[in-house]
């Protein structure tokens, strides 16, 4: 009876939207291992099939590529997991790159032709990136140093 409940639990598993491939596969493998401990068999090919059917749509291109280049009935569980995790890591790295790129562009917005600096009253930049601002601070520091020496 426990085996049937575990197999039903396995069949009902769905990946959560924010869940990683690793966490989802760990859940499936945990159920599979419990079934095996009770003496029944849950083949790796069934786990592969379950993964391919239930992973989010963002992996569709990867799965299609695998279908076109390999015999999915003979592909190993390890190969599928590695492929999906690699795709997930690449997607994550790209998203981080987009965020870094967005921050870089935001910083460049301070260098606009129509902006007027309130420090040096010149067009083309803002106070945040004013070169004169740094020079004024250096001059102020030198004046302060000279006053201390006198």
3-state secondary structure of 56: coil
Q: What is the pLDDT of residues 14-25, one digit of tens each?
A: 988 888 999 999
What is the structure's pLDDT at 139? 46
The beta strand positions in 3-111, using DSSP E, are: none
pLDDT at 131 over 80: no
Q: Crossing angle, helix 21-37 and helix 77-108, to 10 degrees?
A: 160
3-state secondary structure of 130: coil
Long-range contacts of 59-68, Cβ-Cβ distance < 8 Å, separation of 24 or more: 59/21, 59/84, 59/87, 59/88, 62/87
The share of the chain scoring above pLDDT 70, in percent, equals 77
Quick one: tokens of 48?
A: 């592969």
The residue with greater pLDDT, 68 or 135, is 68
Question: If you average pLDDT over every residue of the chain, what do you get?
Answer: 79
- Please list, in sequence order, all residues whose beta carbon lies within 8 angstroms of the beta carbon of residue 4, skipping any fewer than 6 positions away: none
Count CB-CB contacts under 10 A for residue 120. 15
The residue with greater pLDDT, 134 or 25, is 25
Confidence of residue 128 (pLDDT cuts 50, 70, 90): confident
pLDDT at 69 over 60: yes
3-state secondary structure of 123: strand
Kindly report the pTM of this predicted structure: 0.59
Task: With beta carbons less than 8 A apart as the criterion, state whether 35 and 1 touch.
Answer: no
């Amino acid at each position: 009876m426990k085996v049937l409940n575990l197999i039903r639990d396995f069949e009902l598993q769905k990946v959560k939207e924010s869940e990683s491939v690793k966490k989802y596969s760990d859940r499936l493998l945990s159920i599979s291992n419990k079934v095996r401990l009770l003496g029944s068999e849950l083949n790796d090919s069934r786990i592969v099939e379950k993964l391919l059917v239930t992973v989010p749509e963002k992996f569709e291109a990867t799965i299609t590529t695998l279908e076109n280049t390999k015999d999915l009935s003979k592909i190993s569980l390890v190969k599928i997991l590695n492929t999906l995790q690699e795709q997930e890591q690449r997607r994550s790295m790209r998203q981080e790159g987009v965020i870094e790129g967005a921050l870089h562009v935001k910083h460049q917005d301070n260098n606009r032709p129509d902006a007027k600096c309130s420090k040096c009253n010149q067009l083309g930049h803002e106070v945040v990136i004013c070169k004169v601002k740094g020079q004024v601070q250096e001059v102020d520091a030198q004046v302060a140093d000279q006053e201390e020496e006198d």
